[in-house]
Structure 1
Amino acid sequence: MIKVTAIETGKARMKTAQRTGRDERGPVGRKIDIFRDPNWVDPLPILCFLIEHPEGRFLVDTGDTWRNSVPGYLPGWNPFYRQVSIRVAPEEEIGPRLRDMGIDPARDLSAVVLTHFHHDHTGGLDHFPHTRIIGPRENYAVSTGIRGMMMGCLPQRWPVWLDPELVVPDGPAIGPFPGSWPLTNDGRISLVPTPGHVAGHCSVVVQGDDVAYFIAGDATYLQDNLHAERTDGVTNDPATARATLRAIKTFATQQPTLILPAHDPDCAVRLATKAVFA
């Protein structure tokens, strides 16, 4: 039996222009829109997903950290960080959340899987010093150094021991996705390429007993945006981001599928009621 659980690790606020970009705007125009936008969305969850599988427990993304509140933790020279607001209490980090579930984050997971390396997906890495860390090679390549710092990553804050297993989803096609990278021997958990939000972004497909779970990371912020094929304001490649949304929709119409983005406040309800994409 396979079980998927959403775990909230604090809240994020963003501009409306970040959550949903204007269709006619290119990558630069979308960034300008975010800076000019006076409107903020209501606080959104920062979600990780625990997959319990006969071969072990797998965590997708690690959420963010309370250290966002410490002056100097976020680079002051990058004005992007003033366009988002992260609120995480120490006990809301992924480590305490897992311990509340009776899971030792340092010892009880088979792997941590990162959809991409943005700070609100890697902020909890410190809790997993003895765990296999897996991430997409293409995204890692644009997430390090100054380039990464400019693109919403904090490589200077990653644990000194971090040496992720970088993978390329060049295995068998899954539905409309041209490749995959299996996480389990039975192939029921796989990474698939979902670029657009950032280069090299991946999502995790879980083939459950009666439904599929599509753990989307930031491929879309909301299921409603997926329905409407509305891309976000962060993307530097709106055409690729839109093609990814269409691929996810195709996958979700080929079999009953729960769509689980990392910042969608309805994920927990969809999981509880098994409300599949329609």
Structure 2
Amino acid sequence: MKIVFANSAWVSAAERLILRGGSWRSVRLRVRYGLVIHPQAGPVLIDTGYTPQAISGDHRGKALRLYGAVLKPQLNASEQMLPLLARFGLTPQDVSTVIVTHFHADHVSGLSLFPNARFIASDAAWSRLKVRTAWQNLHHGVFTELFPADFETRLDGLSAKQQIASRGAIPGGADLFGDGSVVAVDLPGHADGQFGLLFPDIERPLLYAVDVQWLVAALLKKRTPGFPASLLAEDFAAIEPTSDMLRRFAAAGGEVMFCHDPVPTPYDLDAGGE
């Protein structure tokens, strides 16, 4: 099984907003998404990162335009999804599955590019999204214009997946492909329905923990950012228990990876992860 992560864009933030006790210096954060070549499921994407659809698309509402103007993501053209797929001899039509770890714009903005894919996501979170008003969804950081019109008909919900029990510091979760190779691990705190992906069978087990925190250093040094970063969390009180689970996993020899940490990992395309 091949696992590679690409950086769709750079976003700058003051260090003290992502690391408690940090300085006001600006830190360039990655916006990762992943590609898994699975022996049974075929080409599988992990989220989609930022795409032009979110940054400059004509269909964007006023709130999404404001969002882009405030965050100012700088798209990384060479690692957008189409060039990434082409490096592996693939097209969007070849992608069988897109795993949607949660519904924020930097994770769903490219879903419409994949007409043949099934979407693995939290069906419970999707049900809550559907009954909220547009304003309530914006409060949760969700821009509904980024979802394909047929998203629900292609949704493969987590609730239907077989559960794998935790084993000591190795967390359990939903078995996405029925072989135990990719496990969706519930990660409450940052966003409604957020889950990470555990790859337990590789030489050093990897847990892609998405947006539990921005920096691995903040996790391991227990420097979770406070106010005003806490305003961005769905359930700020849940972040520390979730972080503690990740620290136990790391202490047991596992590797934790976040979406936005700027430090290259062995799985990153620009660090030789191809």
Q: TM-score range by the shorter chain?
A: 0.7 to 0.9
Aligned-pair Cα RMSD in Å: 3.0
> Structure 1, residues 35-78: CA drift from partner, whole Å, max 9, x if none?
xxx95733222111122232233221111111313577353489
- The answer for the alignment partner of 2:86 in structure 1 is 99
Range with bigger deviation, 2-11 or 120-129: 2-11
Aligned to 1:106, the other structure's residue is in SS state helix
Distance 1:42 1:59, change over 3 A: same
> Structure 1, residues 103-156: CA drift from partner, whole Å, max 9, x if none?
22222x332111101000001112211111111134334545422222222112
> Structure 1, residues 197-234: CA drift from partner, whole Å, max 9, x if none?
12321000012331111111111211111112343512
Maintained 8 Å contact 1:46/1:262: yes
Q: Provide the C-alpha distance between the structure 2 equivalents of 1:110 and 1:239, rounded to a whole number of angstroms.
A: 36
The code of the aligned residue for 1:7 comes to A
The code of the aligned residue for 1:191 comes to A
Q: Provide the C-alpha distance between the structure 2 equivalents of 1:19 and 1:191, rounded to a whole number of angstroms.
A: 25
The code of the aligned residue for 1:165 comes to D
The code of the aligned residue for 2:3 comes to V
The code of the aligned residue for 1:167 comes to L
- Which of 165, 169, 187 is the equivalent residue of 1:173? 165
- The answer for the alignment partner of 1:184 in structure 2 is 177
Maintained 8 Å contact 1:65/1:124: yes
Q: Provide the C-alpha distance between the structure 2 equivalents of 1:141 and 1:18, rounded to a whole number of angstroms.
A: 32
Range with bigger deviation, 49-58 or 219-228: 49-58
2:193 is aligned with 1:200: yes
- The answer for the alignment partner of 1:158 in structure 2 is 147
Distance 1:77 1:125, change over 3 A: closer
- The answer for the alignment partner of 1:49 in structure 2 is 34
Aligned to 1:225, the other structure's residue is in SS state helix
- Which of 50, 53, 57 is the equivalent residue of 1:64? 50
Maintained 8 Å contact 2:20/2:218: no
Alignment of 1:104-115 (within 5 A): 104-107=91-94, 109-115=95-101
Distance 1:143 1:224, change over 3 A: farther
Q: Provide the C-alpha distance between the structure 2 equivalents of 1:172 and 1:201, rounded to a whole number of angstroms.
A: 18
Unaligned runs of at least 5 residues, structure 1: 23-37
Maintained 8 Å contact 1:261/1:267: no
- The answer for the alignment partner of 1:223 in structure 2 is 216
Instruction: Give the ranges of 4+ consecutive aligned residues of structure 1 lying more than 6 Å apart after TM superposition.
Output: none
- The answer for the alignment partner of 2:4 in structure 1 is 5
TM-score (norm 1): 0.79
Range with bigger deviation, 230-239 or 146-155: 230-239
Give the % identical residues.
Answer: 23
Range with bigger deviation, 98-107 or 114-123: 98-107
- The answer for the alignment partner of 1:132 in structure 2 is 118
Distance 1:79 1:18, change over 3 A: farther
CA shift at 1:97, angstroms? Answer: 2.1
- The answer for the alignment partner of 1:28 in structure 2 is none
CA shift at 1:235, angstroms? Answer: 1.4
Distance 1:17 1:119, change over 3 A: farther
Q: Provide the C-alpha distance between the structure 2 equivalents of 1:267 and 1:117, rounded to a whole number of angstroms.
A: 25
Q: Provide the C-alpha distance between the structure 2 equivalents of 1:217 and 1:42, rounded to a whole number of angstroms.
A: 18
TM-score (norm 2): 0.80
